[in-house]
Chains A and B, each alone.
Chain A
Amino acid sequence: MATASNRPFAKARQWIRRQIPTVLAGALFVVAWAVIARLINNNRIFASISYTISGVMEHSTDISIKLTETFTSVIVAFVLAVLLGIGLGLIVAEISTIRQMALPVVIFAYAVPHPILAPMFIIWFIIGGDITIFTFTGPSAYLFDSVTAAQAETAIAINGVTTFGAWVGFFPVFISTITGMNSLEERFEHFGTLLGASRWQMVKHFRFWRALPNITSSIKATVQLSIVGVIVAEFIASSSGIGYEIVLAWKTNALGYMFGVILIIMIGAYLFYQIVVWTLKVLTPPGSV
């Protein structure tokens, strides 16, 4: 049974081998950054690595607080987008009259460059007020002595930023749920009829599972889109989140800080994506991711 004991080891080795290109690309990126910074040699045009690090260190508490805020919003937006996308997708896919009636609106909503909608979402929540589900003390209060619990308080809320993020992320899930549900093979259709399955049973036992691979792949796209949505909304909804911090860094000409914040967003987005993919792999049956 040597193979059985070797398996986790082989798996780990395989995993490491798959990470090599990513790690290499990352290393190349750092080297390129250092070389370009050395060539330009002006921190006002292109921040060097050390200047970026010092810029980040200077604002470390701000970044930590805002980062928690942004990624909490991203998670709320992501969850809303996935739940609404699958839910509405199931309904629209099942009832073809509604599907046909909603088609022009869906195409229109898909083709609108979504940032233009952000002001609408933000104004509505300025008028109506945010719906806060609950608040918690963010990790910044534990990480930094200078941060009080009140400063680090983060809210899980439905507000302009999160609803806009959800709107942006909603479409891929919605559309691929419909596509997936409608591409059930005819033989299964016949099989279901033969067994006397009701409409709901067809959905529950056949169509949903046919749509699952489509849904999971669209969820991967939604990860990035909900981050984009949240950051764009933060650009214009002043004073919230990491998106506003970049704008602030731009306005104060703090290039090192700007580089640092952008880099942190990129890394955060990458990690969030990996976590979602891993979670999907664990939660769904094999072969659907």
Chain B
Amino acid sequence: MTARDSRTLGSRVPGGGRISIENSRLTRWALSGLGVILLLVFWQAVATLLGLDPQYFPSPIDVMDALQRTWPTLTDALPHTLAAAVVGYLIALVLSIFTAMVLVANERLLNALMPFIIGVNTVPRIALTPLVIYWVGFISLSATFLANYVMAVWVAFFPMLIAALDGFKNIDEATENMLAMYGATTWQEFKFVRLRKGLPFIFDGMKSGFILAMIGTVVGEFVSGTFGIGSMASSVIGQIAIGRAIAIVLVLGFISSGVVFLIYQIESQLIFWQESSIMGEE
């Protein structure tokens, strides 16, 4: 806090530095804000000037209208979707880190399983959605919504696992030799070196992992039709209500970019030794 204040103070001193960091950050924020405003204005102008049918090509104001009208249903549906996504995400996160630790500790097991992990990661896992729903429905028909939880785990797990594996293996030879010389146990290896070295990778996996968990849940709801944001969105197709579709996208987009931003904030607080990026590694 004081550091930032002094930096801003310093930039006000005449002749103190050429262009201050804060100043250029301000311009960047202003430009970003301007971009959003321009987009909205352009969109509204096109819709109004061309006299487009608000049912098919709604203006931002029409979207706000639709949002207001669907708000009660939306707030009813949101907890279902978010619960599935968040619970699934957390399970996948814990599971992926734990599995990665076990695999990195047993190199032979890792080598044996690697083609399988890579294989599962490169096929479209989402195609399994109907099968998962079928199986969950087989166990208990009234608990079909559990399929959404399973889908969230299934879709988010493998990319996070690979990120954690990459992270834990990210130590150079000199460190490895040093650990061997000190006779470090596997647990000590993780405690002192690997966990810390792997953290940036794990955070990158966490950012895309949350989006993936949301994707799994939403597609699960698309197919199974259990009450939630996904089934709300797919029912819009029959009603041809674009305004509502955009409103749903906006709500879910803000939630998920909010969570990604939150993870990014935690990351930049926790990982002080290197720069973090909001997008993560693709």
Q: Bound pair: A and B?
A: yes
CB distance from B206 to the nearest CB of A (A): 13
- Cβ-defined contact, B222 with A123, below 8 A: no
- Cβ-defined contact, A265 with B124, below 8 A: yes
CB distance from B138 to the nearest CB of A (A): 6
Which stretch (B8-16, B102-110, B249-257) binds chain A? B249-257
By a CB distance below 8 angstroms, the chain A residues around B131 are 246, 250, 258-259, 262
Which stretch (A48-56, A58-66, A192-200, A228-236) binds chain B? A228-236
- Cβ-defined contact, A100 with B35, below 8 A: yes
B39 at interface by CB-CB < 8 Å: yes
Bitwise, A192-227 to B at CB < 8 A (1) or not (0) is: 000000000000000000000000001001001001
- Cβ-defined contact, A101 with B34, below 8 A: yes
Q: Which one of A101, A103, A269 contacts B122 once the chains associate, using CB atoms below 8 Å?
A: A269
By a CB distance below 8 angstroms, the chain A residues around B198 are none
Query: Complex: how many Å from CA A142 to CA B242?
Result: 41
* Chain B interface SS verdict (over half): helix
Given contacts A100-B35, A123-B237, contact A113 B260 (CB under 8 A): no
- Cβ-defined contact, B35 with A105, below 8 A: yes
Given contacts A115-B222, A117-B249, contact A123 B236 (CB under 8 A): yes
Which stretch (A18-26, A133-141, A148-156, A280-288) binds chain B? A18-26
- Cβ-defined contact, A175 with B211, below 8 A: no
- Cβ-defined contact, A107 with B278, below 8 A: yes
- Cβ-defined contact, A119 with B134, below 8 A: no
Which stretch (B113-121, B161-169, B174-182, B183-191) binds chain A? B113-121
Q: What residue in chain B is nearest A249 (Cβ atoms)?
A: B130
By a CB distance below 8 angstroms, the chain A residues around B218 are 113, 115-116
Of residues 22 to 39 in A, which have CB atoms within 8 Å of B's CB atoms? Answer: 22, 24-25, 28-29
Given contacts A104-B35, A262-B128, A269-B124, contact A21 B230 (CB under 8 A): no
B123 at interface by CB-CB < 8 Å: yes
Query: Complex: how many Å from CA A246 to CA B131?
Result: 8
CB distance from B223 to the nearest CB of A (A): 6
Query: Complex: how many Å from CA A172 to CA B28?
Result: 23
By a CB distance below 8 angstroms, the chain A residues around B129 are 235, 246
Total count of chain B residues near the partner, CB < 8 A? 57
CB distance from A202 to the nearest CB of B (A): 23
- Cβ-defined contact, A111 with B211, below 8 A: yes
- Cβ-defined contact, B35 with A112, below 8 A: no
B233 at interface by CB-CB < 8 Å: yes
* Chain A interface SS verdict (over half): helix
By a CB distance below 8 angstroms, the chain A residues around B138 are 44-45
Bitwise, A258-276 to B at CB < 8 A (1) or not (0) is: 1100100110011001000
Q: Which one of A104, A116, A126, A246 contacts B229 once the chains associate, using CB atoms below 8 Å?
A: A116
A6 at interface by CB-CB < 8 Å: no
Given contacts A105-B36, A235-B222, A265-B124, contact A112 B252 (CB under 8 A): yes
A124 at interface by CB-CB < 8 Å: yes
- Cβ-defined contact, B279 with A175, below 8 A: yes
A255 at interface by CB-CB < 8 Å: yes
- Cβ-defined contact, B236 with A247, below 8 A: no
B32 at interface by CB-CB < 8 Å: yes
A127 at interface by CB-CB < 8 Å: yes
- Cβ-defined contact, A116 with B31, below 8 A: no
- Cβ-defined contact, A175 with B282, below 8 A: yes
CB distance from A71 to the nearest CB of B (A): 12
B246 at interface by CB-CB < 8 Å: yes
A122 at interface by CB-CB < 8 Å: yes
B272 at interface by CB-CB < 8 Å: no
By a CB distance below 8 angstroms, the chain B residues around A218 are 282
CB distance from A152 to the nearest CB of B (A): 23
B94 at interface by CB-CB < 8 Å: no
Query: Complex: how many Å from CA A124 to CA B56?
Result: 7
B127 at interface by CB-CB < 8 Å: yes
- Cβ-defined contact, B245 with A123, below 8 A: yes
CB distance from A19 to the nearest CB of B (A): 10
Q: What residues of chain A have their CB less than 8 Å away from a CB belonging to chain B?
A: 21-22, 24-25, 28-29, 44-45, 97, 100-105, 107-120, 122-124, 126-127, 171-172, 175-176, 218, 221, 224, 227-228, 231-232, 235-237, 243, 246-247, 249-250, 253, 255, 258-259, 262, 265-266, 269-270, 273
Top 6 nearest A-B pairs by Cβ distance?
A101-B35, A111-B257, A113-B214, A250-B130, A112-B253, A100-B31
Q: List 12 A-B contacts (CB under 8 A).
A: A100-B35, A104-B32, A107-B257, A109-B253, A115-B218, A115-B222, A116-B252, A175-B282, A232-B126, A236-B234, A250-B130, A250-B134
